[in-house]
Structure 1
Amino acid sequence: MLVSTERGEAAALIVLAVGCGACAVLTAPVGTPTARACAVVGVVILLGAPANGLVSAVLSLARGSNASAGALSPLVVAMRGGRWIGPLERILILLLAAAGAQAAVAAVIAAKGVIRFPEINKDQDGRKAEEFLIGSMTSWILAVLAIAGVSVA
């Protein structure tokens, strides 16, 4: 029940983001403040739940699991903070990049590694490290794509 509700909300947010983008394209030429505002709203929405779903799907593929991306594995149930941390991190990276603070973006990325280092260091088989890297890189790629999308608008 929870999974289908989350998928419905994610689908609604995607439709809203695409609608904002369509409005920007139809009502304002690229480069205008209206087009940029619509792009920012759409990108922020997409960096939330829809991006979480994509990161979860990539992690499922990396794990080789046959379960759907929306299904929660026992590891994910125990560590639900990523559902908040991921979107906040992507939006923070977007804001810092928009402000021209590339050094601060690098600091956020470095801090994440430093904070997770003790946990990853204790991992004997390397699975946590791989999961951390795959999830983080997927998330950062989405943030970079969002930055590119906003800069084009």
Structure 2
Amino acid sequence: MTASTLLALLCWLLLSLASIVVWLPPRPRQARPLFARTTALIAVIVVLVVATTAIALLGRWGNGTEGVWSWLTVGVSCLAAVLTGGAFTTSVLGLADAASRPTPQRVQRNVLRGGTWIGALERVGIVASLLAGWPDGIAVILAVKGLARYPELKTFQSTGAAERFIIGTFASIGWAAACAGVALVVWR
């Protein structure tokens, strides 16, 4: 393993750990201007995309990983999918909420229970299936998730939960696939 490959993995690990700040803290209910909130969400998305692209480019310059270092690459990619994917998906959902127009008929949005854990497991499963060379695993993961959530989504038809489910799932899957792609670039 070359120094650039090791540096790429370390940067990816640091980016993942820094993403905890965006993803996991409790959100205080303070009124912030919509413009400031939207700008912050866009900034998080841009930083994550640019940093992940830079990590992929840095890893590309290296010779790849072998042996135990390959397992480290897989571990870091799964960690990155969970942590940076959580921050990315949360930011995308925040932008979707900011873009929706409030209406008098709109009721309080219901957040589907376990969404954070389901999303994290979904991203790990997608990274694992792509790195294992079994892209059909994505269909299995989506089928299980969709069938498991169907009763709840049917119950909350007028709350926007289904739209948030679709947006969150697409953002989560896209980010997990990107993390698997970066891992393949570093691993090669």
TM-score range, shorter chain: 0.5 to 0.7
Runs (5+) with no aligned partner, structure 2:
1-19, 25-47, 100-107
Counterpart CA distance in 1 for 2:117 and 2:157 is 27
Indicate whether 1:136 and 2:150 are aligned.
no
Residues 37 and 132 (structure 1 numbering): CA distance in 2 closer, same or farther, change over 3 Å?
A: same
The residue number in structure 2 matching 1:43 is 77
TM-score, normalization by structure 1:
0.67
Larger Rg, first or second structure (1 or 2): 2
- Residue of structure 2 aligned with 1:60, choices 94, 111, 121: 94
Q: Is the 8 A contact 1:120 1:126 kept in 2?
A: no
Residues 74 and 113 (structure 1 numbering): CA distance in 2 closer, same or farther, change over 3 Å?
A: closer
TM-score, normalization by structure 2:
0.56
Identity level (%): 28
Counterpart CA distance in 2 for 1:147 and 1:47 is 8
Counterpart CA distance in 2 for 1:9 and 1:133 is 19
Higher helix share: 1
Q: Is the 8 A contact 1:30 1:152 kept in 2?
A: no
The residue number in structure 2 matching 1:70 is none
The residue number in structure 1 matching 2:154 is 121
The residue number in structure 1 matching 2:3 is none
RMSD of aligned C-alpha atoms?
3.4
Q: Is the 8 A contact 1:36 1:150 kept in 2?
A: no
Residues 124 and 75 (structure 1 numbering): CA distance in 2 closer, same or farther, change over 3 Å?
A: closer
Runs (5+) with no aligned partner, structure 1:
1-5, 66-72
The residue number in structure 2 matching 1:88 is 121
Which structure exhibits the higher relative contact order, with contacts defined as CA atoms closer than 8 Å and separated by 6 or more residues?
A: 2
- Residue of structure 1 aligned with 2:139, choices 78, 92, 106: 106
